[in-house]
Amino acid sequence: MEMEYATILLIMAGVFGLFMAWGIGANDVANAMATSVGSGALTIKKAIIIAAIFEFAGAFLAGGQVTRTIRKGIIDAEMLSGSPDLLVYGMLASLLAAGTWLLIASHKGWPVSTTHSIVGAIVGFAMVGIGMDAVKWSKVGSIAASWVVSPVISGAIAFGLFMSVQKLVLGTDKPFENAKKYVPGYIFLVGFIISLVTMLKGLKHVGLDISSSQAVMLSVVSGIIVMCIGTYFIRRIQIDPMADQGSHFANVERVFAVLMVFTACAMAFAHGSNDVANAIGPVAAVVSIVTSGGEITQRSNLPVWVLLLGAVGIVLGLAMLGRKVIATVGKNITELTPSRGFCCELAAATTVVIASATGIPISTTHTLVGAVLGVGIARGIGALDLTVVRNIFLSWIITLPVGGFLSVIFFFILKGIFS
């Protein structure tokens, strides 16, 4: 391992990692906030503040003290033990490639998967840098399968939830009274599910060993606490006779808007704890190889500055470029109201729980877009803007190959500069 470049490589890892985290903020976090903004429950400014606080907390508190060096175990690190420098260039190239693609996609307003961007990039460099055998194709296959699986599951859940809201609240004679009666139940579900996501996905990094049954018990308790807080706010909402003149459900949606603020905070925390690894995993790999003098390990301890870098990058990306993707998911696919937006977020979060319990690798983006589609379909196919849907699907399909292609180019450039 060329130690003369150690400092330069570490600085590059930091800069590229920040760039990738910035891309996650601009693209993926925008997804997590889109339904709240699109439905009018939050202004874009409030959404950015909420996201900044909760994404940062999620990324920093539950983002993982020990991260797997090679994301998702896609490549066989053993094959690189003789040439650690190649792995360093590959990880740097992957960060730069994924970050570049996220920048392009965010600028266009396409919600793409940050997970798939980095996976595509790592597969790309592994194929040319090490060889086809180095890629664990079964892993890549299961990730590709998740393109179909995750939107379908979350779409179905969102469809069911929206139908329940229709039946219990919107389709009744007294929607406002029924909203006040049933929304606390939905708030309990939100508290329960998000708490489960956090315990099953986030906290296992921190070293808190919680069994599944303990996680469920604790989640029930936090669901009840969140429900009590929500009920307090909902009780204070008085019917506004003026509001219902424009829309029959304006007062009902005010009750759901309270719920959306809860789901927005929760989604941001869950997202921060889960997806910050896409930016800091490769950085941690580079740091561990360079500082250990070329030793490659499957897991590497995560310096606090790397975690901080990821958390800060995410917040900056959202604030600077997040609004375009927010507009696509929150407004352009189908028209969202707080009750519809809530169904989307809860469905997406539930899908994340199912996925972490079964070990299917999924993308938060795909689950959320699937959920928005589910709610749109529940209102009739005419409620969807099919052109927007088509563009989103196309951007998903090209994410892996584009990530791989860019990564190969950057890999050869870096290899040329340093060796």
Confidence (pLDDT) at 19? 94
**Structural domain range at position 7:** 3-418
Q: What is the pLDDT of residues 88-114, one digit of tens each?
A: 888 899 999 999 999 999 998 888 888
The pairing of strands 66-68 and 299-301 is antiparallel
Q: What is the pLDDT of residues 2-27, one digit of tens each?
A: 567 888 888 999 999 999 999 988 88
Rounded to two decimals, the pTM is 0.81
Q: Reply yes or no on whether the pLDDT at 245 is more than 60.
A: no
Q: Reply yes or no on whether the pLDDT at 229 is more than 80.
A: yes
Overall average pLDDT of the 58-83 stretch: 63
Residues paired with residue 299 on neighbouring β-strands, in sequence order = 68
Q: Reply yes or no on whether the pLDDT at 66 is more than 50.
A: no
Overall average pLDDT of the 212-228 stretch: 87
Average predicted confidence (pLDDT) for the chain? 81
The domain total for the chain is: 1
pLDDT band (50, 70, 90) for residue 221:
very high
Which of 27-31, 244-248, 298-302 has the weakest average pLDDT? 244-248
Overall average pLDDT of the 192-210 stretch: 67
Overall average pLDDT of the 193-214 stretch: 68
Identity of residue 176: F
Confidence (pLDDT) at 69? 42
